[in-house]
Structure 1
Amino acid sequence: MLDLTRLRVLAAVAEHGSVTAAAKALHYAQPSVSHHLARLEAETGAVLLRRVGRGVRLTEAGTLLAQRAQEIIGRVAAAEAVLAEHVGLRAGTVRLAAFPSALSTLIPAAAARMRTAHPALRLELTEAEPPEALAQLRAGEVDAAVIFRHRPEQGSGDGADLRLTPLGEDRLHLVGPAAKRWPARLDAHTDADWIAGCERCRAHLLWLCAEAGFTPRIRFTTDDYVAVQALVVAGLGMTVLPELALR
């Protein structure tokens, strides 16, 4: 495992352009910086720096590792900040808005851990789709919100006034009746009937089908994932569901 201190040293050399400047920025003695760099090269088995005149220059491997080091350092700093906030929680009420499938899958385990770690904290849960959850957050009606967006470029309504922390990714699944054999490709179902959510909850289905070259013929509309799956089992159509809804 790569040592975080040595990664910080390499990142400092990349940022400041020399061993001397990196040592000054880190408040290290120059021999200490050189020692850390030598140990890092030994750990990686790669030449990270080359002497150029009186200075040094990062090799291609050194540049690549320095970039990754900056990412790692940033994530560690973010984790430390989150942990500091977490440790600082003692008592009071935390109001959380979340979409339905998150409330039934992700939130219970997190709420149980929070109660164990902070028994004096009270958690208030509100079911809300992302637009409503963000509106409640901005209005001060909740303290945090668990939301989703289907594509990275899709705006979720977050802006400079909110801090967005990615929690993970959820895969989308093409769902059809188990009693029938059918191709696991969207473009093989251009003539199928489809089951979808309401107008604001079917964006993922519409853009996936558009990318496959067709517009889905939506015969049934419901936001209840249990009802959606029951309709599929009855052979009344196909659908696309997030993995959280299938747990």
Structure 2
Amino acid sequence: MLDIVRLRVLASVSRHGSVTAAARELHYSQPSVSHHLAKLEAETGAKLIQRVGRGIRLTEAGRLLAERATEIIGRLDSASAELSAHVGLRAGRVRLAAFPSALGTFVPEAAAVLAEGHPGLELRLTETEPPDALRMLKAGYVDVAVIFRYDDTAPEADGIRLLHLLDDPSHLVTSGPVGDLTSHRDSQWIGGCDRCRSHLLELCARAGFEPEIAFTTDDIVAVQALVAAGIGVSVLPGLALHAHRHPKINATELPGSTRHVYAATYGEPPDPPATTALLAALTSVTSP
């Protein structure tokens, strides 16, 4: 493999037409430049430099290699600049998946913090529920997944690292007097996403009944519209009520029912700089 330092020397000699000028540009001594040229000739097995009087000129082989060396050096310098910009967060991209009520509340605030601190960093957002978000994370389609877990949620897969962001209490949502869970044992219920529905079943089981889930939707606007119309009752997290609150519903916090919101990453630390910056932004807008 050809030595990149010697290729730089050859390119400089080609550009300036003399060893003296190349030495001045590269901050080398003239003997050092001549030494690198001789080594490059030995590496290639080709005569690259021809002496003419007190000067030199490149042979046909030397001109060919100098042209290619200039192209290679240009690409390496560009790659180095791009990498430095990426590491320094002056450029690059970071991808985030988050569930709907997070996207409707604190995620936009985190995006604004990230944009202010790192204006060259591009943020890509995807709305999806935790199971799909975690699959995307493990497959490498996103860098961070904002998810939620209940105390009765099964453990996440190996390699998933969780950064706690906030706790989000659940609320019983009705169109009339709220009461408690047992006062709605005979009501029709509106279930949400898989994790929310599983938690609803667990809550009602602890209260001594099995709910009749007549409707299923993870659209918080639709859930509240159905409740407001008197079609059924539901359990919604505080973030969902903060993102959207129908004027004709009543809500009360349920004791002992809280979901925990995390920023999930995958793989061994440390995280890439862009991921670390996004985690810092998420933490900054969710810390008490």
Query: Structure 2 length as normaliser, TM-score?
Result: 0.52
In 1, distance between residues paired with 2:91 and 2:196?
Answer: 36
One-letter amino acid of the structure 1 residue matched with residue 148 of structure 2: F
Shift of 1:127: 1.1
Shift of 1:154: 2.0
Shift of 1:236: 0.9
Which residue of the partner structure matches residue 120 of structure 1?
120
SS in structure 2 at match of 1:166: strand
Shift of 1:204: 1.6
In 2, distance between residues paired with 1:117 and 1:140?
Answer: 25
Which residue of the partner structure matches residue 95 of structure 2?
95
1:213 aligns with 2:211: no
Structure 1 or 2, whichever has the larger Rg, is 2
In 1, distance between residues paired with 2:118 and 2:157?
Answer: 29
In 2, distance between residues paired with 1:102 and 1:217?
Answer: 28
Aligned residues of 1:131 and 1:157 also touching (Cα < 8 A)? no
1:24-66 CA-partner distances (Å, limit 9, x unpaired): xxxxxxxxxxxxxxxxxxxxxxxxxxxxxxxxxxxxxxxxxxx
1:181 aligns with 2:177: yes
Judging changes above 3 Å, is the alpha-carbon distance between structure 1 residues 162 and 181 closer, same or farther for their aligned structure 2 residues? closer
1:159-205 CA-partner distances (Å, limit 9, x unpaired): 2x12211111001000000xx3241x111111111111255541121
1:95-121 CA-partner distances (Å, limit 9, x unpaired): 001111111111100000100010010
Shift of 1:223: 1.4
How many positions carry a matched residue from both structures?
Answer: 156
Which residue of the partner structure matches residue 165 of structure 1?
163
Aligned residues of 2:173 and 2:233 also touching (Cα < 8 A)? yes
In 1, distance between residues paired with 2:144 and 2:171?
Answer: 28
Structure 1 segments of 4 or more deviating over 3 A? 87-90, 198-201
Judging changes above 3 Å, is the alpha-carbon distance between structure 1 residues 146 and 156 closer, same or farther for their aligned structure 2 residues? farther
Aligned residues of 1:149 and 1:156 also touching (Cα < 8 A)? no
Shift of 1:220: 1.4
User: Unaligned 5+ residue runs, structure 1?
Assistant: 1-86
User: Unaligned 5+ residue runs, structure 2?
Assistant: 1-86, 243-288
Query: Structure 1 length as normaliser, TM-score?
Result: 0.60
Judging changes above 3 Å, is the alpha-carbon distance between structure 1 residues 237 and 124 closer, same or farther for their aligned structure 2 residues? same
Judging changes above 3 Å, is the alpha-carbon distance between structure 1 residues 193 and 108 closer, same or farther for their aligned structure 2 residues? same
Aligned residues of 1:130 and 1:156 also touching (Cα < 8 A)? no
In 1, distance between residues paired with 2:241 and 2:109?
Answer: 17
Tell which has more relative contact order, 1 or 2 (C-alpha 8 A, sep 6+): 2
Judging changes above 3 Å, is the alpha-carbon distance between structure 1 residues 163 and 237 closer, same or farther for their aligned structure 2 residues? same
Provide the aligned C-alpha RMSD in A: 1.7
Judging changes above 3 Å, is the alpha-carbon distance between structure 1 residues 163 and 198 closer, same or farther for their aligned structure 2 residues? closer
Aligned residues of 2:102 and 2:239 also touching (Cα < 8 A)? yes
One-letter amino acid of the structure 1 residue matched with residue 229 of structure 2: A
Which residue of the partner structure matches residue 132 of structure 1?
132
Judging changes above 3 Å, is the alpha-carbon distance between structure 1 residues 229 and 156 closer, same or farther for their aligned structure 2 residues? farther
Identity of aligned residues (%): 59
Judging changes above 3 Å, is the alpha-carbon distance between structure 1 residues 129 and 182 closer, same or farther for their aligned structure 2 residues? closer
